[in-house]
Amino acid sequence: MKNRIPGIVYVGTKTEMQWLQSRLDEFGFASAVVEIDRDSVPVGADLPIKPD
């Protein structure tokens, strides 16, 4: 994941990403939760995305 910074690091539900953002904030890391298009996910990324 570190190699994807800056950029899309992880994909999940809005609730999952808000939780992750809160955890990162606790450790002093700045982050943002944004909605992305499925086509924006890096090729070969091991991310939890539902198949079509």
For the chain, give the secondary structure using H, E and C. Answer: CHHHCCCCCCCCCHHHHHHHHHHHHHCCCCCCCCCCCHHHCCCCCCCCCCCC
pLDDT (0 to 100) of residue 51: 54
pLDDT (0 to 100) of residue 44: 61
pLDDT (0 to 100) of residue 11: 79
pLDDT (0 to 100) of residue 52: 53
**What are the pLDDT digits (tens) for 11-47?**
778 898 899 899 989 999 888 888 877 777 766 665 5
Distance CA 1, CA 51 (A): 21
pLDDT (0 to 100) of residue 23: 93
Q: Kindly list the domain boundaries of the chain, sorted by start residue.
A: 9-35
**pLDDT greater at residue 20 or residue 50:** 20
pTM score of the predicted model: 0.62
